[in-house]
Amino acid sequence: MSPGDGRGHALRILRAGTGEQWATYIAETLIARLQVTPSLRVCLPTGLTPVPVYERIAGAVAAGRASFARAEVFLLDEFGGVAPDDTGRCDQMLRRDLLDRIDLPPERFHRFALDGDVDAECGAYEQAIGSGCDLTLLGIGRNGHVGMNEPGSGPESLTRRVELAPETTAASARYFSHDRLPTWGATMGIATIMRSREVWLLATGTGKAPIVRRVVRDAISPLVPATLLRSHPAAMLIADADASALLGHGVG
Ligand code: PGA
């Protein structure tokens, strides 16, 4: 594993080896943050990428090596127009993959209900995040989205209702057991994410290699929202060997 300076921009790049080494590194680093700051305020994503990380964190909590008893978890985003008990909802996924298996008090889990005035709810969510999370974990979409900040999302964007890119709606089919796929959602904005003290952008697998290369090399632009993280003072791209395969030598 070799942290690099990313050729002059602020984004640190960590090439974290095999998928197994990658997941262990991220889980252990998060556990270390929790040990230093038991009241850690952390933003967590869903999607397939973090699942092996959550598996390891749940194992550490079960083994008594980590505790979320004083922590706070903010869900990064949520699909709209989906029933509260739909297994494809982001809050349901995070519960299944992590929260049901750790000691986080239920009232310390912040999520989107999206069953009433969505704009008001997003405003309240932004308020609850306040000065920012301590740590934000993000996956990355093949179009460069982070959370549901689709291409075109600017650096000033806050927690809000968003329309999903058609490819994001199509990709959501892997989460749902029916074909009524979501076309909108609610997400922390880029500005909300940028207030986090630390941001880790997670990527695994060859399918993510092209977008990982673009995040590192393309111009910083809302057209590839993940590039905006390069302006963050403590953002880190943590990619396994497959996802970093197109970065070339000397980067990370
Ligand atoms: P994935 O999704 O982790 O399932 O690849 C990431 C994303 O689209 O943000």
Q: What is the pLDDT of residues 208-247, one digit of tens each?
A: 999 999 999 999 999 999 999 999 999 999 999 999 999 9
Tell me which residue of 239, 205, 189, 242 sits closest to 6, measured CA to CA: 239
- Ligand 1: which of 140, 162, 201, 242 to mutate, most ligand atoms within 8 Å of CB? 140
- Sheet of 77-79, strand order: 77-79, 184-187, 160-163
Place of tokens 């979409």: 141
Give the model's pLDDT for residue 248: 81
Give the model's pLDDT for residue 69: 98
189 and 151 Cβ atoms separated by less than 8 Å: no
Q: Which atom of ligand 1 is nearest to the CA of 202?
A: 3
Q: Which atom of ligand 1 is nearest to the CA of 45?
A: 9
Place of tokens 């300076």: 5
CA of 39 to the centre of ligand 1 (A): 27
186 and 80 Cβ atoms separated by less than 8 Å: yes
What would the pLDDT profile of 84-143 be if each residue is shown by its tens digit?
A: 999 999 999 999 999 999 999 999 999 999 999 999 999 999 999 999 999 999 999 999
What would the pLDDT profile of 148-197 be if each residue is shown by its tens digit?
A: 999 999 999 999 999 999 999 999 999 999 999 999 999 999 999 999 99
What would the pLDDT profile of 53-78 be if each residue is shown by its tens digit?
A: 999 999 999 999 999 999 999 999 99
- Ligand 1: which of 49, 93, 172 to mutate, most ligand atoms within 8 Å of CB? 49
Q: Rounded distance, CA 52 to CA 24, Å?
A: 8
Q: Which atom of ligand 1 is nearest to the CA of 207?
A: 5
